[in-house]
A and B are shown apart, each in its own frame.
Chain A
Amino acid sequence: MWQAADACLKCTLCVTQCPVVSVNPDFAGPKALGPEWFRRHQAGTLETMAHVDDCTFCQLCEAACPVDVPVAHLIAAHKEGTIRSWRHRLRDEMLARPHRVAVFARFSTVPTLVRSVGAISQKTPLPRRHRESVGGLGPPLAKSQGRVALFRDCYSAGYDPGLLDMAQALLSLWGFEVVQLPRVASCCGAAAYAAGKPALARKTAESCRRELALGPQVSAWVTLNATCDGTLREEWPRYFGLSLDAPVLPFDEVALSASDEFWRRMHLVSASNVPLITHTTCRGKVARGDGHLTKLARRAGFSRVEPSVAACCGAAGSYAFKVEHEDTAQALAKPLALQSKRVKPQGFMTDSGTCAIHIEHVTQVQTRHPAYWLYRQYQRYLQEGSGQ
């Protein structure tokens, strides 16, 4: 097993940062379900604990641990042993392959009966395809920055292809030559790992890696979704034995290094004094930290920006779609609903499509990716007359 798997000091820092423990009293928490279970498992006890599936795989526990115990990954291994009903097994097999599900994105509704048989939550809205036509943003503002690949994650490819085009338009404006990869629907493996299927996760990721190898040489991989970002940059080398030949960078980090001229133009746009709440997803917090979205939104000229109060919105990929998790998912999002009532934002900015659906559902406020907000703001600049 991994280095530090048996290093737990029982300090409880992981427990203090776990969002699920805070809303679900049945959930035994990361220390009990991860390292403590692992020690018993190593000693030959093969029983699994109740409610281990309630873990969202947000990895906030792991990020808190002072001695690098792979807490969430131990819990994923723990989940493997759980015995589930055939309906749950069928559903989980399907949701662990989101790139296959996304192929059906054009069917925007799932009948109630199918949901009920498939143990899919009736309360949580399922993804719907965004339909937006996206145009270019004009000639580049900077000299050529080289070629980057925009990682075509399964969610964006299926449900939000316009977002990929917006991100591409912005990257081109900043001087990058952009290719979208992989060309065919693939998944980084995050969904399968979160569902406690590490072997399937590896297989899925390997096939994704092969697809990526078919593209041209690039100087960086730019990701839109925080989960894919963390998976490609940190988990592929550590848990999948895979690597990419160029650094993996989240879109918003690339955006922050756009030229001064871009930001100057963004600031010329009127009506930017609209309240906006930025929510870095849990996996984003783990993969690279927090505060980037707030910085980005403020730099883009949104003057009333407030960070979200929630550590995790509860969407957690397909977690909130599963009927047994709907209460936990709703409870996790509640602080956001309260914050939204107080702040009355015009929008939420978040770095994941599934989180966006969930946040939009609980707050009734438009929730989109930073690339969307930047694209829209720049379009306004173009419409308001670019001669200034």
Chain B
Amino acid sequence: MTTCGDVIVVGRGPAGLLFSSLVAQNRGSVILVADAQGSFPLWGGQWDFCNYTDDGEHVLDPYQWWQQHPSAWDEVRDASTWTLRWQHLMTLWQEIGIPVPDRVPKLNRWMVTPLGQLRPTYWVANWHFVMERPGPLVFVDVPGLVDFRAEVVARVYTATTGQMAKTFRLAVPSGWRRDWHALNWAWFLDSKAGQDWLGQALRDQVRAGEEAVVFPQILGVDHCEEVLEVAQRVLGRPVAEVPLPPPAVGGIRIQRRWEYWLRRHGIQLVSARVTAANRHSVTLQDGRALAADAVVLATGGILGGGLEIQPSGSVRNTVTGAVIGTLGDQLLGAVGHRNWDESVPVIGRMIQGWNPDKRGNGGAMNLWTAHVAYQAFIGHTALAREN
């Protein structure tokens, strides 16, 4: 028995979810196969455009950078195409219920890291703290969170920017335990009891002033808008968050909302490992086969399970089984395939030439590769119809 769909997407990280959404928005049917959760819960969900030059300097105008530094392909120079793609992400996220502003930014903005340093970023949800230029801030210390020490953050922030930084310490609710991590706090604050408690705890902290109040990212999961509302109302000023290391609450919020939206749109999520793929079908580890008009691999890099390091140091594609290089080579040269007709298209982290770790362009990589594959997919279907 074979299940059929317009397209099979392998991998449910950001690239797979975006590509599936593009198909679903255009009434195509998607089977999304994945062996494990994608990377969203491991990071804050900020989509970077281009943060660093080759020399590691901060990039302020990513549009200009792309125009001046064409990397793999000519098209990426075109600022208007980039704008359209970011705008698509904006309307998509609004439809999904991930709160974002009504306009895409022209420039990178600054975010504060959990260590109090500044770094550029581009596309973030409204809960995520960003600023156009540094100003005075208040950082909130949350008991038990080893990844965010407000005193340290404030000290580093002031040293880096010359701006004032104050701190205050949140009380603890009854039932709190020393081993609570950010997600425990967030689940607690999602509840009505949690929100009531937060309102009360913040009332004791209200002081005159206008500086934005910056929390570590703990302000609820599914109900974070309500939690932020409580904090903003009581404190009488803007409140936003700094994303923390995993489990990363911002990414979890996005993953949950996005996957739910896809399910509402009728996509089928298959939980299985893919052991072979060609242009029209995939084979699952248990021997089942799935068929479709097209297959797209969004299987991530080494961390996502799409690539596997063998004990010998060689790097293997987990779907095709092909050894594509060894660690230490000018890595993974042959991984990216863009041409629909030649092979199974690859999107997201598995594609070569982006280097998000060095350049800070992970979000742009997902956005661009998903759109390119989608354009190829519609071109391909149109061609198939003509024939």
Chain A residues with a Cβ under 8 A of chain B: 11-13, 15-17, 21-23, 25, 28, 63-68, 233-234, 247, 249, 253-254, 256-257, 285-292, 294-295, 298, 306-307, 309, 335
State whether B268 touches A292 (Cβ < 8 A).
Answer: yes
Alpha-carbon distance between A254 and B262 when the two chains are bound, in angstroms: 23
Interface stretch, picked from B148-156, B180-188, B231-239, is B180-188
State whether A25 touches B188 (Cβ < 8 A).
Answer: yes
* Contact of A289 with B268 at beta-carbon distance under 8 Å, contacts A11-B42, A25-B175, A63-B36 already known: yes
- Chain B residues positioned under 8 Å from A286 (CB to CB): 271
State whether B264 touches A25 (Cβ < 8 A).
Answer: no
Interchain nearest-CB distance for A274 vs B (Å): 17
Alpha-carbon distance between A13 and B35 when the two chains are bound, in angstroms: 13
State whether A66 touches B36 (Cβ < 8 A).
Answer: yes
- Chain B residues positioned under 8 Å from A257 (CB to CB): 1, 3
Most buried by B among A25, A67, A285: A25
Interchain nearest-CB distance for A20 vs B (Å): 10
Number of B residues with CB within 8 Å of any CB on chain A: 40
| B358, CB-defined interface residue at 8 Å | no
- Chain A residues positioned under 8 Å from B263 (CB to CB): 290-291, 294, 307
| B282, CB-defined interface residue at 8 Å | no
State whether B303 touches A66 (Cβ < 8 A).
Answer: yes
Partner of B266, one of A11, A16, A294, A309: A294
- List B174-213 residues whose CB lies under 8 Å from chain A: 175-177, 179-180, 183-184, 187-188, 190
State whether A22 touches B271 (Cβ < 8 A).
Answer: no
Chain B residues with a Cβ under 8 A of chain A: 1, 3, 33, 35-37, 41-42, 175-177, 179-180, 183-184, 187-188, 190, 221-222, 246-247, 252, 260, 262-264, 266-272, 286-288, 303-305
* Contact of A298 with B1 at beta-carbon distance under 8 Å, contacts A17-B37, A25-B177, A25-B188 already known: no
Interchain nearest-CB distance for B284 vs A (Å): 10
Q: List 13 A-B contacts (CB under 8 A).
A: A16-B252, A21-B184, A25-B177, A25-B180, A66-B303, A66-B304, A253-B1, A256-B3, A257-B1, A257-B3, A285-B271, A291-B267, A291-B268
Alpha-carbon distance between A290 and B30 when the two chains are bound, in angstroms: 12
- Chain A residues positioned under 8 Å from B271 (CB to CB): 63, 285-290
Partner of B1, one of A64, A254, A285: A254
State whether A307 touches B260 (Cβ < 8 A).
Answer: yes
Given A25-B188, A28-B179, A249-B1, 7 other A-B contacts at CB below 8 A?
Answer: A12-B42, A23-B187, A25-B176, A234-B286, A247-B287, A294-B264, A298-B266
* Contact of A289 with B42 at beta-carbon distance under 8 Å, contacts A307-B260, A307-B264 already known: no
Alpha-carbon distance between A254 and B1 when the two chains are bound, in angstroms: 8
Interchain nearest-CB distance for B328 vs A (Å): 21
Using CB atoms, name the residue of chain A closest to B37. A64
Interchain nearest-CB distance for B351 vs A (Å): 19
